[in-house]
Amino acid sequence: MNLAIHPETFKVACSGCNLRELCMPIGFNLDDMKRLDEVVATRRRVKQGDLLFSSGEQFTSLYAIRTGFFKTSVSTDDGREQVTGFQMAGEVIGLDGIVSDHHNCNAVALEDSDVCVMPFANVEELSREFPVLQRHVHKIMSREIVRENSIMMLLGNMRAEERLAAFLLNLVQRLHARGFSQSELVLRMTREEIGSYLGMKLETVSRTFSKFSEDGIIDVKQRYVRIVQPDALKKIFNPDVC
Amino acid sequence: MNLAIHPETFKVACSGCNLRELCMPIGFNLDDMKRLDEVVATRRRVKQGDLLFSSGEQFTSLYAIRTGFFKTSVSTDDGREQVTGFQMAGEVIGLDGIVSDHHNCNAVALEDSDVCVMPFANVEELSREFPVLQRHVHKIMSREIVRENSIMMLLGNMRAEERLAAFLLNLVQRLHARGFSQSELVLRMTREEIGSYLGMKLETVSRTFSKFSEDGIIDVKQRYVRIVQPDALKKIFNPDVC
DNA sequence: AGATATCTTTGATGCAAATCAAACTATTGC
DNA sequence: GCAATAGTTTGATTTGCATCAAAGATATCT
């Protein structure tokens, strides 16, 4: 698995960040970009297993992931956890906190991570000044709504194999957009976390991985996955089109 | 079931609309409110069963529901439908279209309805001018994200009875916020649509209604539902707290 | 008002995934 | 380097809901 993005090349400011095209709007002149840098107040390191924010906590900032990997989840009072998403470099988390000024989910780092802290007051102020940033923020929120729509489809209508196929295709597509392989990936999350996201038990996740492996669709060795027959996965996810 | 909101009292402008506190921000002086009226371009009537917008269609506007009731849904290529939400007066739909400039779901009127058409360009322009409107738009989008998180919890972790209990409690709570009874409601959707939203088959929805009825928790007669023991419903939804 | 289509309820049966259980593998800590 | 812990795989059994089926209720049309 080749690392196309080298952490050591990161600059402090958005204007010099090679993830800019993922988490910031494009089409700025240099002066505007310098102003845009103001949106990021600080950086924050989050060690594997640590919380970036948790449900109930005061909301102040959005977070753009620079390096690392997160999961977000919500919980019931009786302790059931639902993973609501997995986020990687260039993605923005914390949008859930805007409505009530308090976070509504937990964000946990699944590996040592590094985030840009964007105080929401800065985001709103600069959004009023820069229509392209305003549009960008709206798109990020809309994208999250659309993503959750498709998860609802997954959870409400799909069988275990379809869910896992969709999950793998989505992960590898996002990794590929970041310069990683489109056929190999290392899962940052446990079978239980995958299961929670996809509405199935860890044993079912494991069995489904084994099934795909037996069918020659993927190679799995624990957290390492290689997609041998991407078309077969697409066909499982969407029998009609492929 | 008493109608606290009388359609005939509606004014054309937001400033005179008695739903304003639901779909528009509060805390304006009269001059600002007049400006805010510009956000609504026109009105549109949608007859029962008709589409307000559909997946793939060009996105231009958000829609605030003035009267009536909608469902939104997404579909797979092989024809499976997932209802992603039910919306009533004062709620805003169309946010899914922002990210790609095309709508990503279908919105169907479940009764004759009336919506305020808010061209998104207007919304963005006025948002830059009025921070309180900007914040309001952000909150609406964030609220939708949080709602979908809780539906993911429902679909991923809850059993049929819990899902239906949560659904009824949510519906009646929103209706009550609009001046309707907190114990009686008339369902605007079929058993199949409820089932689609909650990830279960129509027969299971029907059986679960019957079960609640046998247990004396609700009275059901087709579309009419009266909640006899709200605490029992809350207990089913959340066994620990209640 | 009667016919037709749509929606709902209830019963019988089947099945996909959950649960229970135990062995196996990888990672972490001393 | 070995023990302890955390995570994964696989098998046996159970179960909640889906599916199949048919009757009953309501709404719509002519």
Check which CATH number belongs to the domain holding A111 and give it.
2.60.120.10
pLDDT tens readout for residues B165-210: 999 999 999 999 999 999 999 999 999 999 999 999 999 999 999 9
- Residues of chain A in contact with residue B129, where contact means CB-CB under 8 angstroms, are 128
Distance from CA of A178 to the nearest CA of B (A): 20
Q: Which of A124, A154, A184 is the last residue of a domain?
A: A154
Give the span between the Cα atoms of A196 and A77, in whole angstroms. 16
Domain assignment present for residue A242? The answer is no
Tens digit of pLDDT per residue, chain A (242 long)? Answer: 443 444 443 446 788 888 888 888 877 777 878 888 889 889 999 999 999 999 999 999 999 999 999 999 999 988 899 999 999 999 999 999 999 999 999 999 999 999 999 999 999 999 999 999 999 999 999 999 999 999 999 999 999 999 999 999 999 999 999 999 999 999 999 999 999 999 999 999 999 999 999 999 999 998 999 999 999 999 998 766 54
Same domain flag for A144 and A212:
no
Angle at B36 between CA A28 and CA A141, to 5 degrees: 45
Question: Can you give the distance from the CA of residue A34 to the C1' of nucleotide D22 in angstroms?
Answer: 71
Q: List residues, Cβ < 7 Å, touching strand C.
A: A 159-161, 199-201, 203-204, 221-223; B 187, 190-192, 202-203, 205-207, 209-210, 220, 222-223
pLDDT value for B3: 37
Give the span between the Cα atoms of A126 and B128, in whole angstroms. 10
Q: Which residue reads 């990021």 in tokens?
A: A40
Burial code of A16-50, b = ≥16 C-beta within 10 A, e = fewer? Answer: ebbbbebbbbeebeeebbeebbebbeeeeebeeee
Q: Which of A126, A154, A182 is the last residue of a domain?
A: A154
Domain assignment present for residue B242? The answer is no
Task: Flag if A240 and B78 touch (Cβ within 8 Å).
Answer: yes
Instruction: Give the C-alpha distances (Å, rounded to integers) separating A157 from B54, B80, B82.
Output: 20, 7, 7
> For residue A121, what is the nearest residue in chain B, using CA coordinates?
B135
Domain assignment present for residue B82? The answer is yes
Same domain flag for B177 and B136:
no
Out of B128, B141, B241, the one facing A131 most closely (by C-beta) is B128
Rounded to an integer, the average pLDDT of B146-175 is 97
The boundaries of the domain holding residue A169 are 159-237
**Local confidence band at B151 (pLDDT 50, 70, 90 cut-offs):** very high
Out of B134, B155, B238, the one facing A152 most closely (by C-beta) is B155
CB B149 within 8 A of CB A81: no
Task: Flag if A95 and B128 touch (Cβ within 8 Å).
Answer: no
Task: Flag if B84 and A142 touch (Cβ within 8 Å).
Answer: no
Task: Flag if B155 and A155 touch (Cβ within 8 Å).
Answer: yes
- Whose CA is closest to A81, among A62, A57, A55? A55
pLDDT value for B24: 84
Same domain flag for A164 and A231:
yes
pLDDT value for B38: 86
Q: Which of B135, B154, B173 is the last residue of a domain?
A: B154
Rounded to an integer, the average pLDDT of B106-123 is 95
Give the span between the Cα atoms of A152 and A82, in whole angstroms. 13
Same domain flag for B127 and B167:
no
- Whose CA is closest to A50, among A114, A110, A5? A110
Same domain flag for B56 and B112:
yes
In chain A, how many domains are there? 2
Same domain flag for A150 and A163:
no
> For residue B154, what is the nearest residue in chain A, using CA coordinates?
A82
